[in-house]
A and B are shown apart, each in its own frame.
Chain A
Amino acid sequence: MRASVGLPLTHESAALHVTGAALFTDDLVLRTPRLLHAHPVQAPHAHARVTRLDVAPAYDVPGVVRVLTAADVPGVNDAGIKQDEPLFPDEVMYRGHAVCWVLGETLEAARLGAAAVQADYDVLPAIVSVTDAITAESFQGARPTVERGDVEAALASAAHVFSGVTEMAGQEHFYLETHASLALVDEAGQVFVQSSTQHPTETQEIVAHVLGRHSHDVTVQCLRMGGGFGGKEMQPHGFAAVAALGATLTGRPVRLRLTRQQDITMTGKRHGFHATWQVGFDEGGCLQALDVTLTSDGGWSLDLSEPVLARALCHVDNAYWIPHVRAHGRVARTHKTSQTAFRGFGGPQGMLVIEDILGRCAPRLGVDPMELRRRNFYVEGQSTPYGQPVRHPERAGLAWDQVVVEGRVRERLAEVEAFNAAHPHTKRGLAVTPVKFGISFNFTAFNQAGALVHVYKDGSVLINHGGTEMGQGLHTKMIQVAATALGVPLERVRLAPTRTDKVPNTSATAASSSADLNGGAVKDACDQILARLEGVAGDTWEERVRSAYLQRIQLWAAGFYRTEGIHWDAALMSGHPFKYFAYGAAAAEVEVDGFTGAYTTRRVDIVHDVGDSLSPLVDVGQIEGGFVQGAGWLTLEDLRWDDADGRLLTQAASTYKLPSFSEMPPELHVTLLPMAHEDGAVYGSKAVGEPPLMLAFSVREALRQAAAAFGPPGTSVELASPATPEAVYWALERARSSAEVLVR
C-alpha cells in the first residue's frame, strides 16, 4: 500500500470550510441554550490606578445579569503564568485594559451595561515608546547575553567597522477569527471551556487557578481556530477564565468573543525591537565580529517576552558565520498590550538585524549584496554563537544556488540594471536572502507530546493528539501519519478535536514543531498497536482487528514522544537547543515609483527545505502564506501608537492594513528543496510553520536596492521597517539627494 505521507492532500476540513459547515468556537452560540454574553469595561488610560469601580448602574440596564470583578475570583486573580497579569486589575497598565466584565442576556445588553459602569482613575505617568523605556531604564525580566570569542579585540582588528541602529515595528496577528471562548458547567461541577486556543493545557491550568480548582475539574476543547500565528498561545487564557468564572457564578453558559477593536486593543502582538550594533568585516568582506544590544518592546507584562528574546538572540546570526559575537538582550516594560508569540517568535526580529546590517554595509564595502551574503554562509564544522554545531549548513547554499538558477537571477539582474538605466522615475530591485531557523522549543521540557489512537472493532481508527488546528494543516498531516504507520487507507482514519481530557499536559501548538512532536506521538501509538497485532492472522486489516479483539488484544494506545539530544542552559545562553535547522532562500523583484514610493512585488522565487514533505500541498501553503505574512510585517503593516496617551491609532481593519490580493506577487514560484530527508524526525520531514516568514527579507532588501538605484552607484540606504510607500519614498529621496551618510 502506498504511503499516505507525502501525498498532496487538501486540508482535511476543506469541504467544511468552503461550505460554511466548519464550526469555530463562536459558531456554537446558537447550539448553546440560555447563553450569556460577555463585554469588557476598557480603561481609557495607559497607566492609572482604579480608585472607584461602581458596577451598580450596570444592573439598571435591562438584560444585565452579572458584573464580574476581582471580588468574584475564588482562586488566583491572574491570567498568566508569571503572576504579573491580574485578570481584574486595580492598576491599569495599558489603554484598553479590561477592569471588569459585564454579562448580559444579549450582547447589546452586556455592551450597554459595560457603558454604564462607573470607574474613576488616578492617572499615572506612562511610558509608551521603546526608546522612552530605554531612556527611563524601564525593563522587565532577564537580561541575557549570548557571547562567543573576543568581540572587542575582533572589532579593533577588523578592516571595516560600522555601527548603527535598527528599529523594527511589531505586528498585529489579525487572525480573521478574534479571540473566543464559551464556557459551561455540567451537573457535577465540571467546567467545560471551548476556546480558540493554541495551548489548551495552559488555558485549562489558568482557568483552574482562577477558579481555585484543580486541572481535572476543567476540560478545554479547541475545535479549530480561524488563525492563530502565536496570538492564541498565551492570550486566550484570561478570556477563557472570564467565561468560566461567569459560568460558575451564574450557572449559565457564557460566551466571550472579542470584537476586532477589542482584540487589537487588548491582546499582545509581535514585539517591536530596537537594536544598536557594531559590526566588523575583514578585507574580504567576511564577518569578524558583531556586538549588538536588542531591546524588545514587551508591553505591560512578561508574557512570552523572555523566550521570544532568547530566540531573537539565537537568530542574530541567521545563516552567517560570525566568529566573535556578543548579543545582549533586554525586555522593555511599556504601557502597551503585552507583546507575545508571533510566527517566528523573535527569530525574525533577530535575523532582521543582521540582514539590515548586510544590506546597509554592502555598498560601503563595495561588495555586491548577494555576494556578501553568500560569502558569509556557515560551512560544515562551524557552530552558532550559542555553541550548537550547525548541521546541514550546505542546505542554505543549495537552496540559494537553486533559487538563483530557477529564478534566472543573474539574467534578471542584468535586465533590472538595463531597466533602471532607461527609467529615471521607476527603479527595480532584485535581492536574494537566506533563512536558517532553529526547530524545537528553546525550553527543553516543552519538546514532548502525547496522542491517543483508538482502533475500533470494525477497523476504523480515531486519533487524538495534543496539537491544535489553526489552518496550518496539522490535523491533515496527523491523519497521514496514522494511516501510513498503521498501513490503512486515509478514509479509515478520523481525527477528533483537541481536548485536554483526551491528551493531557500538552505543549502549545507553537515553535513550528507540532507535526514533529505530535507526529512522533501518533506514530508511537500506532507502532504500539501494530506490535500487538504482530502475528494476528487475517487477510485484511479489518479481519486482523476483529481477530485481535476476540483474542483480547488491546486495540488502542497512548503514544508519547520527546525530542532527543537537545539541551539548553538559559543562564549561560548556550547549549544545543534545536533538533535541527530549517533552511530556505528567496529571490524577490520589486518595482518602485520614484514619485510616490509606491511599489509592487513583481516576482518571487523560493526554494525551501521541509525535509521529506509529509504533505506537499499543505507545506507549499505554509511557505506561501508565511512569506506573504512576513512581507506584510516588513512592508505594509503599520502599528501606530500615540506616544503621549498610549492609544493604539491603528485599531481597526480600516487603519491596520494586512496584505490583500494587491500585494500578491503575480509570479510566485515555490520549490521544495530536494533530497532533504531529516533523520530523526517523523518520516524524515521538517517543521514548516515559521521559517518561511523570514523569506520575506528578500522583499525588504529588494526595496532597499531599488531605492538605492535612485542615487549614485554605491549608495547605502537606510530603510524603515515597515517599508511603507512613505518610508520607501523618504529612503529614495535620501538616495537621490545622497547627502546623508547612512552607515557610520
Chain B
Amino acid sequence: MAEVTVNGTTRPLAGTPVHCTALDFLRGLGLTGAKEGCAEGECGACSVLVARPDGRDGAGSAWTALNSCLVPAAALDGQEVVTAEGLGDPGDLHPVQRELADRGGSQCGYCTPGFVCSMAAEYYRAGRRANGRADHEHGPNGFDLHALSGNLCRCTGYRPIRDAAWALGDPDVADPLAVRRTSPAPAPAATRLADGVGEFVRPASLAEALGLLAGHPDATVLAGATDVGVEVNLRGARPAYVVAVDRLPELRAVSLDPIQIGAALTLSEVERALDGAVPLLDRVWPQFASRLIRNGATIGGNLGTASPIGDLPPALLALEATLVLSSADGDREVPLAGYFTGYRETLLRPGELIRSVRVPRPLAGLTAFHKISKRRYDDISSVAVAVALDVTDGVVTRARIGLGGVAATPIRARATEAALEGRPWTEATADDAAAVLAGEGTPMDDHRASAAYRAAMLGQSLRKLWAEVAA
C-alpha cells in the first residue's frame, strides 16, 4: 500500500489525487510549515527534507532538500520526509531553528520553514567540515551558501540568515537525523496510483518501464518533476499517464573511465560522482538553477525537455557528448549535436528513454562556461556559451563551442570553431573568432535580454576567455 513516512509517522497516500503535489499533501496533513510561494521551484518556501541515497554504494543516506511544490505526492511512495515541524517545536528548537530565530533570520516568517529545511540539509551534509576554506560563499564551519541558493527571502536581505548558517556546529552524535544517515535510504517503491484524471506508475525496472512506454506512447516521463511540476502547477497540465523513471537502477549507473552518466542521476548526484573529473561541468553546477533544483532535476531530464536555454546542453555540446537511448527495441547511441531537431523537439521516439550520457576522453585542455543572466544564482540564462579548446604548441588543434539561448535549439558554433582551428592561440585569433561568434545563431528580443545584447555577449565570450587565460 502506498504510504509516506512524514516526521516519523506513516501516512497513507490512498485517496490522494494523482496530480496532488507533495506540498499540498503535507499541508493536507496539517503540516502547514511548508508554503507555496511560487509553485515553480524558484522560491524554496516549500522546501522539505527527503532521505536519499548518499552515493556511497547504497550504504548511507543524505538528507536532501527538495521543492515539495514540484514533486507529486505519489512520487514519494515509500520515502521518508521531514518538515520544519519534524525538526523541532517552539519549546525545543533544532539547532538550525535556534540560530535562525536568535539572529533575526526571520521577519515575516513565511519563507522561514523552507530556509530551515534547506539549511538543515547542509547542516547534515556528510562532507561539511570546518576546513579553513572560508570565503564569501563558505563559512568557517564548511557551510556552503549555495545550499540556500534556491530559497528567496523578501524581508531580511539574507545577512542574518548567512550568519545563522555559519554559526552552526556539528550535529550531536545522538541526533536521530544524524544517525539516520548511516543506514540506507528507502528503496524506491513500485507504485501504481490512479484517479479519474490520471495514473501514476513507478516501474521497478528499466524493462518494465520500456514495456509501459511501448504500451503508452503518449506517456509523460517523470524524473525530478522540475519541469513537469511547473506545467502542472502553472499551466494546468494534467498528464493522463505518468511513468516515473528517476529511481530506475539501470538509469543511475556512473563511471569515470569511460565517462558515462546515468540519465536518472540528479545534477547534485552527478556533481558528487564526477568529483571534479570534468572541469567544464564544474563551471556549470554553481550556475545551474539552485541546489534545491539540482537535488531533484536529472541530467536526462535536462536533455529530455530540450529547452533552448537549458544550462547543460551547451556544455555537453562542447564536450561532444553522446546519448544512449533505450527502447523496447534496444539501445542506440546518438551524438548530442544531432539530437535536437527543433524547438523542444528531439530524435527521441515515442517509447524511447535517455539511458545515459557519454563524454569522450580525452577532455579538452582549455574550457570555459559563460552564462549570461540577470541574477547570479538561480536564474535562467539569456545566453550561455561553453568553450572547449585543445591548444598544442600554441596552435588551436580542436575547438568545440556550444551555445544556448540564441536559436530554437542549443547549437554548436561551427563557423567559430572553424575560425579557431589551425590558428595560433593569440589575442588576434580570439578577436577574429569572437567576431564570427557574434554572428552565430539568431538571437531574439525577449524579457530576459535584447537580441543586440545576446549577440554582443556571444562576441564578448572569447575575448573574456582570452583575458581570463592571459590573467
Contact = CB atoms under 8 A, between A and B. Distances in A.
Interface string A612-627: 0000011011001111
A473 interface: yes
A127 B90 CA distance: 52
A139 interface: no
Interface in B51-97: 83-85, 87-91, 93, 96-97
B108 A176 contact: yes
Contact of B236 (A111, A177, A425, A649): A111
Interface string B18-59: 000000000110111111111110110100000000000000
Interface string A569-595: 000000000000000000000000101
Interface stretch (B152-160, B203-211, B328-336, B340-348): B152-160
A549 interface: no
Interface stretch (B110-118, B263-271, B275-283, B420-428): B110-118
A418 interface: no
B203 to A, nearest CB: 27
Contacts of B234: 259, 261, 652
Nearest to B383: A596
A75 interface: no
B20 to A, nearest CB: 9
B33 A636 contact: no
Given A15-B101, A177-B35, A628-B158, A471 B109 contact: yes
Given A629-B157, A653-B42, A19 B107 contact: no
Interface in A355-407: none
Contacts of B37: 176-178, 260, 653
B33 A20 contact: yes
Contacts of B91: 15
Interface stretch (A219-227, A326-334, A517-525): A219-227
Contacts, number: 250
B112 A18 contact: yes
B125 interface: no
Contacts of A655: 380, 447-448
Contact of A621 (B30, B156, B236, B374): B156
B157 A660 contact: no
A471 B107 contact: yes
Interface string B456-467: 110011011001
A281 B449 CA distance: 37
A3 to B, nearest CB: 20
Given A111-B236, A661-B148, A663-B375, A19 B154 contact: no
Given A471-B107, A652-B40, A726-B453, A621 B155 contact: yes
In this complex, which of B36, B89, B90, B375 has the most chain A Cβ atoms within 10 angstroms of its Cβ?
B375
Interface residues of A, number: 79
A658 interface: yes
Nearest to A27: B32
Contacts of B104: 10-11, 14, 617-618, 620-621
A670 to B, nearest CB: 9
A447 B41 CA distance: 41
B450 interface: yes
Interface string A72-112: 00000000000000000000000000000000000010010
A593 B145 CA distance: 23
Interface residues of B, number: 86
B90 A21 contact: yes
B376 A658 contact: no
B89 A21 contact: yes
B106 interface: yes
A17 interface: yes
Contacts of A629: 154, 157
Contacts of B33: 19-21
A173 B154 CA distance: 9
B226 to A, nearest CB: 11
In this complex, which of B32, B157, B370, B450 has the most chain A Cβ atoms within 10 angstroms of its Cβ?
B157
Nearest to B112: A17
A654 B289 CA distance: 10
Contact of A30 (B27, B97, B457, B467): B27
B145 A661 contact: yes
Contact of A24 (B90, B97, B110, B157): B110
Contact of A17 (B103, B106, B151, B450): B106
B446 interface: yes
Given A595-B463, A638-B447, A227 B154 contact: yes
Contact of B156 (A15, A19, A259, A625): A625
B202 interface: no
Interface in A657-690: 657-664, 666, 668
Contacts of A16: 90, 109
A224 B30 contact: no
Interface in B115-149: 116, 136, 145, 148-149
Interface in B375-406: 375-380, 382
Contacts of B467: 425, 595
A229 B98 CA distance: 27
B372 interface: yes
A640 interface: yes
Nearest to B115: A18
A19 B85 contact: yes
Contacts of B97: 15, 18-19
A226 B159 contact: no
B38 A624 contact: no
Given A111-B236, A425-B467, A662-B377, A226 B35 contact: yes
In this complex, which of B36, B149, B155 has the most chain A Cβ atoms within 10 angstroms of its Cβ?
B155
B357 interface: no
Nearest to B448: A655
A29 B145 CA distance: 34
A624 B107 CA distance: 12
A624 B159 contact: yes
B6 interface: no
Contact of A661 (B103, B110, B149): B149
Contacts of A650: 447
In this complex, which of B28, B31, B39, B447 has the most chain A Cβ atoms within 10 angstroms of its Cβ?
B447
B293 to A, nearest CB: 11
10 contacts: A14-B104, A17-B109, A20-B31, A24-B35, A27-B32, A173-B154, A259-B234, A595-B467, A626-B157, A668-B157
Given A174-B154, A176-B111, A596-B464, 7 more contacts: A14-B109, A18-B88, A29-B27, A177-B35, A225-B108, A227-B110, A725-B373
Interface of A: 10-11, 13-24, 27, 29-30, 108, 111, 115, 173-178, 224-227, 229, 259-261, 425, 470-473, 593, 595-596, 598, 600, 617-618, 620-621, 624-629, 636, 638, 640, 649-650, 652-655, 657-664, 666, 668, 724-726, 729-730, 733
The 9 A-B residue pairs whose C-beta atoms are closest, nearest first, are A20-B33, A471-B108, A226-B110, A17-B109, A628-B157, A653-B42, A471-B107, A662-B376, A653-B38
Interface of B: 17, 27-28, 30-40, 42-43, 45, 83-85, 87-91, 93, 96-98, 100-113, 116, 136, 145, 148-149, 151-160, 162, 230, 234, 236, 370, 372-380, 382, 446-450, 453, 456-457, 460-461, 463-464, 467
